[in-house]
Amino acid sequence: MHELHGYYIEDLEIGMNESFAKTISESDVYLFAGISGDNNPMHVNEEYARTTPFGGRIVHGMLSAALISTVAGTRLPGPGCIYIDQSIKFKAPVHFGDTARATVTVTEIDLRRRRVKCSTDVHVGDKLVATGEATFMVDNRPA
């Protein structure tokens, strides 16, 4: 892998995986709310959130899912890949101060179409908080 270009499709193998972990702070949540416009009180109003089954504010699901994009765009497949699609199921909340770890694992490679399918999981500790599958377009190695 090169700093400005990730893996070429010919370099990928089924089972390859990479991860990225981040401790989600209150400022991360407020910045994400500002960027996305998602000011749901579940994320930004502690008084309201205390009245819900979660007992307090929780991190935007899409903020934890964005860590998948971090892995894809910087590690595997890496810089230069194009995100084609993503399915995701949120299994459990992420709380302020949790360290979320996103992992991308290669599950299928279509050399002809230059497509790579990957499983995408986000964990907090041993707990699976989000799971899904993504497809990326990956360049061929230059001739």
Confidence of residue 5 (pLDDT cuts 50, 70, 90): confident
> For 58-82, how does the pLDDT look when each residue is reduced to its tens digit (9 = 90+)?
999 999 999 999 999 999 999 999 9
- Write down the pLDDT at residue 38: 97
Q: Which CATH code fits 9-24+59-137? A: 3.10.129.10
> For 28-52, how does the pLDDT look when each residue is reduced to its tens digit (9 = 90+)?
999 999 999 999 999 999 999 999 9
pLDDT of 85 higher than 90: yes
Q: How far apart are CA 48 and CA 129, in angstroms?
A: 23
pLDDT of 4 higher than 90: no
Which 3 state secondary structure label does DSSP give 38? coil
- Write down the pLDDT at residue 2: 63
Q: What is the mean pLDDT of the chain?
A: 96
Q: How far apart are CA 129 and CA 137, in angstroms?
A: 26
Backbone CA torsion sign across 66, 9, 16, 5: negative
Q: How far apart are CA 33 and CA 61, in angstroms?
A: 11
Instruction: Give me the mean pLDDT over the 76-103 stretch.
Output: 97
Q: How far is CA 27 from CA 24, 33, 78, 90, in A?
A: 8, 10, 27, 22
Query: 117 pairs with which residues across the strands?
Result: 108, 135
> For 107-117, how does the pLDDT look when each residue is reduced to its tens digit (9 = 90+)?
999 999 999 99
The structure's pTM equals 0.94
Place of tokens 């990326």: 136
pLDDT of 3 higher than 80: no
Count of alpha carbons within 13 angstroms of residue 51, beta-carbon side: 4
User: Would you say 122 and 65 are in contact if contact means Cβ atoms under 8 Å apart?
Assistant: yes
- Write down the pLDDT at residue 31: 98
pLDDT of 1 higher than 70: no
Give the residue extent of every domain in the chain: 9-24+59-137
